[in-house]
A = this chain, B = another copy of it.
């Protein structure tokens, strides 16, 4: 396993950090002697109303004294405190300037933030995407000024002083929540609570998988940790329980979550809605749990906890770090008022006095700057060492190196698309969920980063990779992931996998209707540009007897309306292959494949190339781009449109049949192409789709007719429901005639 050497390396780094701390000068703290300790006007005063806070505060001085005694490094501690206060005031000042934002978390979490970025984590600020970096996720994304301050101190070019001053402004690189597509150095987009911790599970899964697949006894080329800071809000969300249950099950030993236990959420003390025993819950989930009682100033406690967490290799660790939200603010600390609003000039001044901070807004003291400056050369060195290691690896294990490289760079192997299966009208009728499985099993042979699974429906979604076993605690090199009945966690974990390395192509599956359970994660895929493939089967009333709770109606429309999302509904084998081609190529947006439970005919005229255009003609007996009628179908209803066309043609009509597999892709075509498929002059248009007609007016026009379902489904055999709901060839023919 990789963990042994990684621990040595990180311990060495820790030791070096301590050494550097000891040797650094401390000019400013000397000229402000009161700085190294809390002033008598302690922020704990504000906490006195909460009995639980009182305990934490009471222990503060004791713990600090003990730390000082042990390490005998008073200068050192004062520089750490100065750095921590720099972080606090960068956050305070930026929120103040924007008059918008969340100062409370950065003020409370600055100590753990400092220790992570300054003492623990391995990264290269000048190449933030260096593959083997430790990953950090701020799951409590509203506290993003913490991370911006840390990136700034650590030397990331993406967050310069002017960026901090532009916090939450139009076009800035410091938006109101962490956005990986806006700020280099941010791993994933967080903010909606609970997503980040689930993303982190995905990142840690990715590391464990790659390490097991590629590491050699003499060369552990994959070896990093994933750190998370999450808050009370993340803990309350169901998604975090789902993801953390899986993390425990998988034994993700290199996942270390720091829980900012500050007992305050927007509505006030968490006592009003959150009195569960979080430690015990995490133990039940199979985590190692540590409690840092003084997260405000107990630096050694935090260090010791992280060290302990790293030593536990078979379990993820949750470090509960009890902190005071808005630490340092004499009148607002430990209250909801510091959570999500600027402190206000008066309280900013009071906080400056209270923490002994004489500087102008946005000032980073020279010794703090100097102290942090070492991360640039150190990061370069870390990467150079790793590059040398990789060169060794490549020499000795060329095949594996090539595969790993493909995952690191995201470059698709030349000719990969030749693996896609092809079909003819003579190929046997089949459900698109089965055809999907043929594609997955063909693609996994050529795409080293393809892996995934289902939320306990593998045998219904048809997602098993037959040549692989299960990704499990002791078989992490395998590629079938078993998510259990945890759709939301599954989606967010896949986002984490996708954003770990560009060559990962995670897929996940459930019934299409249960996208409702994971919609927030799918939206994050779209927003943060994670090319996750959502394999969504049982995509209509065609699933039959399970009834309306299981039958999607509005889901196609709801995803067509979602930005940066590809909603694909293939009709047969060729279209399923085309959908996979599109999904694999589109690494910066998610693809949702709506697939049938029921068998579908292989249709003449369907093609991979057609799918790539989103909408295309599969058959036509008209000439001069002037059909009498255009029939439009998607997925399982395309064969109904085709059958209706045959009948109408027998009656002498010039009928065009258009497959509308992806609205988004069609929208992206040229006006000429669009006109060639849907000429403006032809108003007799009938669409058929076993789902909501919402939105179809755009395609069929004011004079066309959309056949669909604008009510909930029913429990009965599929054929019966189709008939009763009028999703039939006869209905298409009748509509075409009525409009003609």
Contact = CB atoms under 8 A, between A and B. Distances in A.
Interface of A: 98, 100-101, 141-142, 168-172, 175-177, 179, 189-194, 232-234, 236-242, 245-246, 248-249, 265-267, 270, 272-281, 283-286, 336, 454, 456-460, 470, 472, 482-489, 513-514, 516-517, 519-520, 523-524, 526-527, 544-550, 553-554, 557-558, 560-564, 692, 694-695, 697-698, 701-702, 710-712, 714-717, 720-721, 724
Contacts of A170: 714, 716-717, 720-721, 724
Contacts of A547: 168, 175-177, 179, 191
A273 B238 contact: no
A171 B723 CA distance: 13
A723 to B, nearest CB: 9
Which of A273, A513, A697: most chain B Cβ within 10 A? A273
A690 to B, nearest CB: 14
Number of chain copies forming the complex: 2
Nearest to A336: B459
Contact of A177 (B98, B177, B483, B546): B546
A554 B274 CA distance: 32
Contacts of A516: 192, 519-520, 523
B236 A242 contact: yes
A331 to B, nearest CB: 18
Contacts of A281: 280-281, 284-285
Nearest to A486: B236
A26 B203 CA distance: 62
A231 to B, nearest CB: 9
A534 to B, nearest CB: 14
Contacts of A191: 546-547, 549-550
A205 to B, nearest CB: 13
Contacts of A694: 557, 560-561, 695
B545 A98 contact: yes
Contacts of A278: 284
A98 B545 CA distance: 9
Given A237-B238, A280-B281, A281-B285, 18 more contacts: A100-B717, A170-B717, A175-B715, A177-B549, A177-B715, A179-B547, A191-B546, A238-B486, A241-B241, A266-B457, A273-B456, A273-B482, A273-B484, A277-B284, A557-B695, A558-B558, A564-B712, A701-B702
Instruction: Identify which of A286, A716, A721 gathers the most chain B CB atoms within 10 Å of its CB.
Output: A716
A168 B713 CA distance: 13
Contacts of A142: 546
B549 A267 contact: no
A710 B170 CA distance: 18
Contacts of A232: 485
A179 B545 contact: no
B545 A485 contact: no
A7 B548 CA distance: 38
Contacts of A286: 275-277
Contact of A267 (B267, B458, B710): B458
Contacts of A721: 170
Contact of A483 (B98, B175, B273, B553): B273
B517 A192 contact: yes
A199 B657 CA distance: 46
B233 A175 contact: no
A557 to B, nearest CB: 4
Nearest to A472: B272
Contacts of A265: 456, 484-485
